Structure 1
Amino acid sequence: MKKIVSVLMAIILLMSIAGCSSPKKETAKQVKSESKERVVATTVAVTEIMDALEVDLVGVPTSSKTLPKRYKGLPEVGNPMSPDMEKVKSLKPSEVLSVTTLEYELKPVFDGVGMKANFLDLTSLKNMQSSISDLGKKYGREKQAEAVVTKLDKKVASIQKEVKGKKEPTVLILLGVPGSYLVATEHSYIGDLVKQLGGKNIVQGEQVEYLASNTEYLKKADPDIILRAAHGMPDEVVKMFDKEFKTNDIWKHFAAVKKNRVYDLEERLFGTTGNLAAIEALDELKKMMYP
């Protein structure tokens, strides 16, 4: 079972964190950093954070998503799951930035070629804020970091005030890729967003972010709401979920299905790691949890 979950997670991360990365013709020419720091960001979320901190980069991930204008024309270093080490090394980075979700797979690779990599913890809002503050101190961008962190704090406080006193819904979060899906726990990023809004994840007592699905167990928990996150190929995954919910008889017995409380999450807002779209994501999630 653990092997199955590991394989599925690898597929999900490859699709979602990479931002549906696809090879692009290299038209950019390398630009020199204005400071002694030569930083390479290997995920879209990290790239957007560095832009908010107004930190220059010398390399960015390959992605079909639009990256910040600040980094237009920079060399691309491949997808987050398997960066092109030769390309990264050629940029002579003082630091390479990735995420803790990929640390187990990538740290040995970076160590093997003698490159320093820093893995940012974006598994929750608080962890993301802490990582942003640390980067602000490291690169002399304390003011910018404080602005980002404060904005997130204010949003969380405001939205929690809005939902205070309301019945806390129980929630099931499904994370899908074409052909299969996992159950997200409260330790996943989306699980943390649900928790911030007062929701209770039906999967309790686990330490991992994702688990293999057991529909019989899920039915016994009978959540008020079902959230379906589609990553990598959202259109295909939504179709897969629709087919699963129509052909697998057990789903029609869920209260959430009977009451039309099943929601497909927009990939742009609800990734497998934290990102700066968190404020908009919280607003959208509030509408689903407290209609």
Structure 2
Amino acid sequence: MKTKLNFFLIIVLLVVLAGCGTNDQSTATENQSSKDTHQNNSEVADATKNEQALETDGQIISTTVAITEITDQLELDLVGIPTTYKGLPKRYKGLPEVGLAMDPDMEIIKSLKPTDVLTVTTLTSYVEETFTQTDTPATYLDFESVEGMYEGIQYLGEKYNREEHAEKLVEAFEEKLAEIEAKIKDQESPKVLILLGVPGSYLVATEESYVGDLVRRAGGVNAMKETGVEYISANTENLQQAEADIILRMAHGMPEEVVEMFNKEFKENTIWRHFKAVKNERVYDLEEVLFGTTANLAAVEALEELVKILYE
């Protein structure tokens, strides 16, 4: 009888232990399942958050080199880039090219379904009608001066949730430019004539132009007093009367051809020999990479180069 009782108690104990083991295992499984579910939910939330962050960038196309360099600094993704012989940031390697800034390929642009096509105000007369007729969303950034570029960077920062990037970029520029300007504040201001060459012709840049703005920041006085326009046409007789101390020659596209054109003009048109700057050998050809027609991220380097030229 005692043996049977002991056997019965052993059976009951095994059943109880088995039951406890099952409950423990069930609880552990439920806890692990809860952890896995929580982890999965977190991963989904993170993925959604990242996806939303990318979505705020939209389907952006940049049509100029200057804008493309800035969007790179703001860590903005693009779906289309300008066609250019100049190097573009590695971030955008392999992206579809949308043609020249002045004459973009609308077929390619429309195929990319952009939510924003970035261009500059100086090209408004070339592209606005086409963009309007094709119902293409476009943003015109004013890069006609360094200040305008600052505003454009800040605008993009606000529009695409890159305020911190934009603020740091602008602050870095302001500090460097302020240092350069402080060095030349006591220098005597030279009078500067700025010529913008295009194959076969040239215009005169006013202080309203980007390079005109740089010359002002470098302490120079523009030989042309016109306001409200970036470039004007003028005959050489009037230019001579301006008595410029320095002549700066810049190219817009095909720089080698433009320099050759300038050299021929200055050699064959004898009136140039009577210019003060020519007599004193103060005629300089500006490198196109540094001195574009719109403000760009090379502004600091360009200003440093101008200071060397103006006060050598």
Range into which the TM-score falls when normalised by the shorter chain? 0.7 to 0.9
CA distance in 1, matches of 2:61, 2:251: 28
Shift of 1:82: 1.4
CA distance in 2, matches of 1:105, 1:76: 18
State yes or no: 1:282 paired with 2:303: yes
1:150 to 141, 148, 171: 171
Q: Work out whether residues 206 and 226 of structure 2, in 8 Å CA contact, stay in contact via their aligned partners in 1.
A: no
CA distance in 1, matches of 2:80, 2:200: 34
2:229 to 177, 191, 208: 208
TM-score (norm 1): 0.86
Question: Could you say which residue in structure 2 is the equivalent of 1:264?
Answer: 285
- Matched residue pairs, number? 259
Q: Work out whether residues 185 and 208 of structure 1, in 8 Å CA contact, stay in contact via their aligned partners in 2.
A: yes
1:35 to 46, 55, 59: 55
Q: Work out whether residues 59 and 78 of structure 2, in 8 Å CA contact, stay in contact via their aligned partners in 1.
A: yes
CA distance in 2, matches of 1:137, 1:164: 34
Question: Could you say which residue in structure 2 is the equivalent of 1:103?
Answer: 124
Q: Which has the larger radius of gyration?
A: 2
Q: 1:107 to 1:228 in 2, by over 3 A?
A: same
State yes or no: 1:182 paired with 2:203: yes
What amino acid maps onto 1:281 in structure 2? A
CA distance in 2, matches of 1:111, 1:83: 14
- 1:37-69 Cα offsets, whole Å, 9 max, x none, are 110111111111100111000111111111110
Q: How does 1:1-291 map to 2 (within 5 A)?
A: 34-36=54-56, 37-291=58-312
TM-score (norm 2): 0.81
SS in 1 for 2:203: strand
SS in 1 for 2:94: coil
Q: Work out whether residues 132 and 145 of structure 1, in 8 Å CA contact, stay in contact via their aligned partners in 2.
A: yes
What amino acid maps onto 1:86 in structure 2? E
What amino acid maps onto 1:200 in structure 2? V
Shift of 1:104: 2.4
Q: Work out whether residues 178 and 233 of structure 1, in 8 Å CA contact, stay in contact via their aligned partners in 2.
A: yes
Shift of 1:173: 0.1
What amino acid maps onto 1:201 in structure 2? N
CA distance in 2, matches of 1:205, 1:235: 29
The unaligned stretches of length 5 or more in structure 1 are: 1-32
Question: Could you say which residue in structure 2 is the equivalent of 1:6?
Answer: none
Q: Work out whether residues 174 and 182 of structure 1, in 8 Å CA contact, stay in contact via their aligned partners in 2.
A: yes
SS in 2 for 1:238: helix
Q: Work out whether residues 181 and 213 of structure 1, in 8 Å CA contact, stay in contact via their aligned partners in 2.
A: no
CA distance in 2, matches of 1:108, 1:176: 26
Q: Work out whether residues 143 and 295 of structure 2, in 8 Å CA contact, stay in contact via their aligned partners in 1.
A: yes
The unaligned stretches of length 5 or more in structure 2 are: 1-52
Question: Could you say which residue in structure 2 is the equivalent of 1:23?
Answer: none
SS in 2 for 1:269: coil
- 1:54-103 Cα offsets, whole Å, 9 max, x none, are 10001111111111100011111111111111211111111110110111
CA distance in 2, matches of 1:85, 1:246: 42
Q: Which structure exhibits the higher relative contact order, with contacts defined as CA atoms closer than 8 Å and separated by 6 or more residues?
A: 1
Percent identity over paired residues: 58
Q: Work out whether residues 170 and 223 of structure 1, in 8 Å CA contact, stay in contact via their aligned partners in 2.
A: yes
CA distance in 2, matches of 1:149, 1:69: 22
